[in-house]
Amino acid sequence: MTGLVRFLVVFALALPAWSAGAAEVVYPPGSRLGLIPPAGMVTSSSFLGFEDAETQAAIILASLPAEAFSELERTMTADALRRGGMTLERREAISLSSGKAFLVVGRQEVDKTKLRKWIVVGSSPALTALVTFQVPDSAKASYSEAAIRSTLATVAIRTSVPVEEQLSLVPFKLGDLAGFQVGGVIAGRGVALSDPPGATPSPVQPHIFVAVAPGGPAQLGDRDAFARDIFAAVPNMRDVRLTSSEPMRIVGQPGHQLMAEAKDLSGATNLTVVQWLRFGGGGYLQLVGVATSDHWLDAYPRFRAVRDGIEPR
């Protein structure tokens, strides 16, 4: 298995019993995977999936790359599961609305809790679904084999997650997307916005990343060094040369602006980069806008529009 796939499979196997009657598919916020949860289970606020706080039963959802299905189909053997701490009872092919799938059933003990697990691995052109239904032995009377299989048969994959739903997962409001599309969301942390491929005749499309983090220097004199340290961790650039670094006010709050020239990882494309930090409330907001130098004059006002439209939730 590749490192990512192996990590996600081990994660699904290792999940403990979590603490915490729809007739249609329910999608947890931000998830392309959904199902019809059984009576007694609600969308979890602790993980991507559903939970029954009373019985400690849970359904955990994970999306993997589409190409992961064939690898898991080949490598998810009794020996591989045993190395992850799970004893295989049986494995069988099943059908989902999205395409080919298989079901693995087994037992595992996690933190002295004995669990029975049903793991569905489902294929689709867009992604591979990894769905784990786990029930503590103490709750086996609450979830029959037939009920569990019936629930897992309803696994569905939606085409996309609505933009409003994706943006609801970050701890700030974006008042102006400035024509950008949502490229990805890190729940509770940040969002990446970008132009779609081909929007400009360039190998690197204009894009901006917005994120919040705790901490940050309280003293003005410490912010320049802090901004430089944070900027040094920005990925996918080489030959970086800082051109300016200065304090500024951003929407009435203390902030800092850093400008730089760089190249993309291939070294063939010239980039211009801006980083803004906005301090306050025991943390800071970081924005990093990147565009090719040829398209910087068009991209920069859009980056500013995103920056100035951000409000706390």
**What's the whole-model pTM score?**
0.68
For 60-119, write each residue's pLDDT tens digit. Answer: 999 999 999 999 999 999 999 999 899 999 999 998 988 899 999 999 998 889 999 999
Confidence at residue 18, expressed as pLDDT on a 0 to 100 scale: 37
Report DSSP letters for the chain, one per residue.
Answer: --HHHHHHHHHHHH--PPP---SS-B--TT-SEEB-PPTT-EE-SSSSEEEETTTTEEEEEEEEETTHHHHHHHH--HHHHHHTTEEEEEEEEEEETTEEEEEEEEEEEETTEEEEEEEEEE--SSEEEEEEEEEEGGGTTTS-HHHHHHHHTT-EE-S---HHHHHTTSSEEES--TT-EEEEEETTTEEEEEPPTTSSSSSS--EEEEEEEE---SSGGGHHHHHHHHHTT--S-EEEEEEEEEEEEETTEEEEEEEEEEE-TTS-SEEEEEEEEEEETTEEEEEEEEEEGGGHHHHHHHHHHHHHTEEE-
For 202-245, write each residue's pLDDT tens digit. Answer: 789 999 999 999 999 988 899 999 999 999 999 999 999 999 99
Confidence at residue 10, expressed as pLDDT on a 0 to 100 scale: 47
State the average pLDDT over residues 117-136: 95
Q: Is the pLDDT assigned to residue 309 strictly greater than 70?
A: yes
Q: Where do the domains of the chain lie, and which CATH numbers do they carry?
A: 3-157 (3.40.1000.10), 163-312 (3.40.1000.10)
Confidence at residue 23, expressed as pLDDT on a 0 to 100 scale: 65
Confidence at residue 117, expressed as pLDDT on a 0 to 100 scale: 97
